[in-house]
């Protein structure tokens, strides 16, 4: 894959990844309907902004996101969480494949790297 530009594409993808991770945690611990709806609204806005780069780099993530939003509308929390987790994995793979720095890619996995 080609390297992502260091501007808005990387920032947007990092934001999307953080939102996905946060939602997975909230849905795992104690899913408050109001919190989940607010977080899903933010995720939808970020996903819409990131859609061009996601479609180019890994269209599969768009399928996971679409499916997750459908599960949310129907109250299928376990399926929602599973699709968000898969989307998060795709976002991590995009960041790694597109040449994010070693530190950024490791941070997406929660690994500390000495540079």
* 53, part of any domain: yes
The count of domains in the chain is 1
> Which residues, other chains included, contact 75 with Cβ-Cβ below 8 Å and sequence gap of 6+?
none
Local structure of residue 2 (DSSP, 8 states) = P
pLDDT in tens, the chain (115 residues): 444 555 678 888 889 999 999 999 999 997 788 889 999 999 999 999 999 999 999 999 999 999 999 999 999 999 999 999 999 999 999 988 877 645 555 554 554 444 3
Boundaries of domain holding 19: 8-108
Distances (CA, A) of 79 to 12, 62, 91, 96: 25, 16, 18, 26
* 113, part of any domain: no
């Amino acid at each position: 894959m080609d390297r992502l530009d260091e501007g808005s594409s990387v920032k947007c993808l990092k934001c999307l990844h953080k939102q996905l991770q946060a939602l997975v945690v909230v849905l795992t611990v104690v899913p408050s309907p109001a919190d989940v709806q607010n977080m899903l609204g933010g995720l939808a806005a970020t996903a819409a902004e990131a859609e061009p780069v996601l479609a180019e780099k890994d269209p599969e993530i768009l399928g996971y996101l679409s499916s997750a939003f459908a599960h949310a509308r129907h109250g299928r929390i376990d399926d929602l969480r599973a699709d968000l987790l898969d989307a998060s994995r795709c976002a991590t793979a995009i960041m790694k494949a597109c040449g994010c720095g070693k530190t950024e890619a490791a941070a997406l996995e929660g690994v500390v790297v000495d540079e």
